[in-house]
Amino acid sequence: MKIKYNGEIVIGALFTIASGVLLARIPIEIKTLETTAVNAQTVPRIALGGLCLFSFILFLQGVFLIPKKVLVFDQALKESREFKDSIRSLIYIAILILYTVIFRFLGYIISSIYLIFAILIYYGARKKSYYAIALTVSAVVYLVFSLVLNIALP
Amino acid sequence: MDLVLSGLGILYNWQLLLAIPIGMILGIIVGAIPGLTSDLGIILMIPLTYTLEPTVAILALVSIYVGGTYGGSITAILINTPGTSANAASLFDGYPMAQKGEAYKALSMALYASTIGGLIGAFVLLFLAPPIAKVTLKFGPAEYLALAVFGLSVIAGVSNENIFKGLIGACIGIFVSTIGLDVISGTVRFTFGNIQLRRGIDLIIALIGLFAISEILMKAKYNPKTDRTVVDASSITKMKITKEEYKRCRKPITIGTIIGVIIGATPGTGGGLAAFIAYNQVKQTSSHPETFGKGEIEGVAASESANNAACGGTMIPMLTLGVPGDGATAILMGAFMVHGLVPGPMLFKEQGSILYAIMIGSIIVNICLWVFGKFFTRFYAHITRIPFELLACIVLTFCAAGAFSTNNNIYDVYYIFIFGILAYYLRLMNFQMVPILLGIVLGPLAEMNFRRALILSDGSYMIFIKRPISLAFLLIAFGSVVTFTIKDFRHKRREAAKSA
């Protein structure tokens, strides 16, 4: 299977749809009692309307004016550098999402230990000094926030 | 004069003796590391400045800005990689000079030119900002709205290869700024039933996500084994600048400084553009243009004086009009707001002494640049040795701690990663973050003044056209959108014709 696409088509379409949905939701999400023509709904309408319009124009530019890339779904795609880089990015994002969950439930210190190990392993770091330095700096950050700034991290 | 003296009085504060040097050293280090920028340094430092007095906090952040703008020249000269975009023009001659064994000379000239340019930029800010602010005191709500529209449209066009990407960014920013409680009517907007969203999205949270987190994510594909470049510390041999070279560089520094201040004062531009234009101008007017690009010290002088002069220039529209000159000043503007100072002409009226303290302090900051730059020159090679994977861990934990400390709320930590992931994918599609940031910063200002203007005019939109300053800004905004659209369309047609 082949797909012809470019970034402008993808982003243009996504934002056109998203802004259209949000525009439709304005009466539900912004329940104002104001009776004037210009009220709490006005600027969100302008912003989302503008987003919809400009995204659609971008989409049209992508379709008619900008060269498209061809994406072929076959075995070669899975072995390509781009595909592997995309998977790496998704793994990186997954590490960060898990970090936020651990941050909430287990606190700053444990989540920082997890993050440091995860990131350094992700980059293939083997030197123990890197782990030691990162953990030490993280501890210093905790102490600075707790003792100097009087902000209790979780 | 009273305000100047009062400003000097505010500067008589022991905390500044620590804040400026620490900010300067941090700025130079952050600017020198490719992948970290002075913007990121400012963002990371903002949470640490919450407990400081406004003047001390702002000057610490300005020190990072100034230091970072100079710091980027270090890696530009030593390893052909600019630390910040403002130093890209310094590559052309800085790196060839290093290859010839003149790295110390190039670094010294970069420091000298940056200091001169920065000092003059700070003096221009001190003398020009107050009279401009007096003119802008006559602005009413219609003018402020028109100014916000002008700022957003110009920056959308200048900062992106495609103006529609910039306008999309601006609209996203304005939409994000409307989330939460409407300040005029108290109506809840786009909270999706989540009580945490009632207070809206904090500017600092958006900053950390859009810039810091996305920057780290952009290095997801980084491979330490193949992508890392370091410089051998022994390659910096001491070769001082001769008197004749100082004399030759007077003209490039003068041209660079003038261009830096003018370009910097134009919203949406910044040090990078100023440096390129200054370099190009000096090369074209030189009696020996063939030497440029091969290790000509005048090239380094021109670009570095321009980008640091732009630091003062970019603060002029930010302080007087409330429209930032570039991304870093947009972030600084956020810092001002965090400390209860709303940039604009009213700030000169209400907090004039603090503002004068900041402007005079900027002069002191640039003097400190010379002192610290000179002292640390020999250590600079070591900065490039810090592995990115180590930095990523440190920056991420710092971002999470900083985000949490803003409101003591875990949701802010979620938001920085949501913004960061969104910004990462937008940056992959060549979107710039500055229009989004500006939309978040200027959105509330634009909305408040829009609704106020319509209340004053009993609902008539003609108020924006009948008032001449408002009409002028709107026409310029419209003109810039049309100009950029036509330019963009022609460029795409040419590209399409070439590929056909």
pLDDT per residue as tens digits for the range B300-329: 999 999 999 988 888 888 888 887 777 788
**Section B443-448 average pLDDT:** 88
Is the pLDDT confidence value at B112 over 90? yes
Residues with Cβ within 8 Å of B433's Cβ and at least 6 positions away in sequence, in order, are B169, B210, B211, B214, B327, B423, B426, B427
Which of A37, A47, A99 is nearest residue B459 as measured by Cβ atoms?
A37
Local confidence band at B230 (pLDDT 50, 70, 90 cut-offs): low
Local confidence band at B236 (pLDDT 50, 70, 90 cut-offs): low
Number of neighbouring beta carbons within 10 Å of residue A85: 12
Is the pLDDT confidence value at B235 over 60? no
Looking at the structure, tell me whether residues A20 and A57 fall in a common domain: yes
Is the pLDDT confidence value at B180 over 80? yes
Residue A15 lies in a domain: yes
Local confidence band at B170 (pLDDT 50, 70, 90 cut-offs): very high
Sign for the pseudo-dihedral over CA of B353, B356, B360, B361: positive
pLDDT of residue B237: 59
Looking at the structure, tell me whether residues A110 and A61 fall in a common domain: no
Q: Which of A44-58, B305-319, B374-388, B471-485 has the highest mean pLDDT?
A: A44-58
Measured torsion, CA atoms of residues B495, B497, B499, B500, in degrees rounded to the nearest 10: 160
Do A59 and A16 form a contact (C-beta atoms < 8 A)? yes
Residues with Cβ within 8 Å of B446's Cβ and at least 6 positions away in sequence, in order, are A43, B144, B145, B148, B149, B152, B174
Identify the domain boundary among A48, A73, A98: A73
Residue A111 lies in a domain: yes
pLDDT of residue B159: 65
pTM higher than 0.90: no
Q: Which domain holds residue A61?
A: 2-73
Number of domain units in chain A: 2
pLDDT of residue B135: 77
Please list every residue in chain A whose beta carbon sits closer than 8 Å to the beta carbon of residue B401.
Answer: 108, 141-142, 145, 153
Residue A44 lies in a domain: yes
Please list every residue in chain A whose beta carbon sits closer than 8 Å to the beta carbon of residue B198.
Answer: none
Please list every residue in chain A whose beta carbon sits closer than 8 Å to the beta carbon of residue B417.
Answer: 96-97, 99-100
Residue A18 lies in a domain: yes
Residue range B330-345, pLDDT digits in tens:
888 888 888 888 887 7
Looking at the structure, tell me whether residues A6 and A64 fall in a common domain: yes
B85 or A33: which leads in pLDDT: A33
Amino acid at the residue B111 = L
- How far is Cα of residue B156 from the mean position of the Cα atoms in its chain? 15
Residue range B123-132, pLDDT digits in tens:
998 888 888 7
Residue range B46-76, pLDDT digits in tens:
888 888 888 899 999 999 999 888 888 887 8
Q: How far apart are CA B155 and CA B269, in angstroms?
A: 8
Residue A154 lies in a domain: no
Residue A85 lies in a domain: yes
Looking at the structure, tell me whether residues A84 and A139 fall in a common domain: yes
pLDDT of residue B228: 65
Which uninterrupted H or E stretch holds A130?
helix A128-143
Q: Residue B167 and residue A54: Cβ atoms within 8 Å?
A: yes
Sign for the pseudo-dihedral over CA of B468, B474, B480, B483: negative
Residue A116 Cα, gap to closest chain B Cα (Å): 5
Interface test with A, best of B52, B393, B484 (most A CBs within 10 A): B393
Looking at the structure, tell me whether residues A61 and A86 fall in a common domain: no
- Prediction ipTM score: 0.92
Looking at the structure, tell me whether residues A88 and A68 fall in a common domain: no
Local confidence band at B347 (pLDDT 50, 70, 90 cut-offs): confident
Angle in degrees, CA B346, B262, B41, rounded to 5: 70
- For residue B127 the two structure tokens come to 């003398």
Q: What is the mean pLDDT of chain B?
A: 84
Looking at the structure, tell me whether residues A55 and A89 fall in a common domain: no
Looking at the structure, tell me whether residues A99 and A132 fall in a common domain: yes
**Section B280-299 average pLDDT:** 86
Residue range B417-436, pLDDT digits in tens:
999 999 999 999 889 887 88
pLDDT tens across the length of chain A (154 residues): 777 888 899 999 999 999 999 999 999 999 888 888 888 999 999 999 999 999 999 999 999 888 888 777 777 777 777 788 888 899 999 999 999 999 999 999 999 999 999 999 999 888 899 999 999 989 988 888 888 777 778 8
Q: How far apart are CA B154 and CA B478, in angstroms?
A: 9
pLDDT of residue B242: 86
Identify the domain boundary among A15, A42, A73: A73
Please list every residue in chain A whose beta carbon sits closer than 8 Å to the beta carbon of residue B194.
Answer: none
Mark which residues 94-133 of A lie under 8 Å from B by CB: 96-97, 99-100, 103-104, 108, 111-112, 115-116, 119-120, 122-125, 130, 133
Identify the domain boundary among A73, A91, A124: A73
pLDDT of residue B268: 65
Interface test with A, best of B44, B45, B52, B164 (most A CBs within 10 A): B164
pLDDT of residue B229: 59
Q: What is the mean pLDDT of chain A?
A: 88
- For residue A133 the two structure tokens come to 């330095």
Looking at the structure, tell me whether residues A68 and A12 fall in a common domain: yes
Residue A153 lies in a domain: no
Looking at the structure, tell me whether residues A61 and A85 fall in a common domain: no
Residue A40 lies in a domain: yes
**pLDDT above 90 as % of chain B:** 19
**Section B24-52 average pLDDT:** 82
pLDDT of residue B335: 87
Is the pLDDT confidence value at B383 over 80? no
Looking at the structure, tell me whether residues A85 and A54 fall in a common domain: no
Looking at the structure, tell me whether residues A87 and A118 fall in a common domain: yes
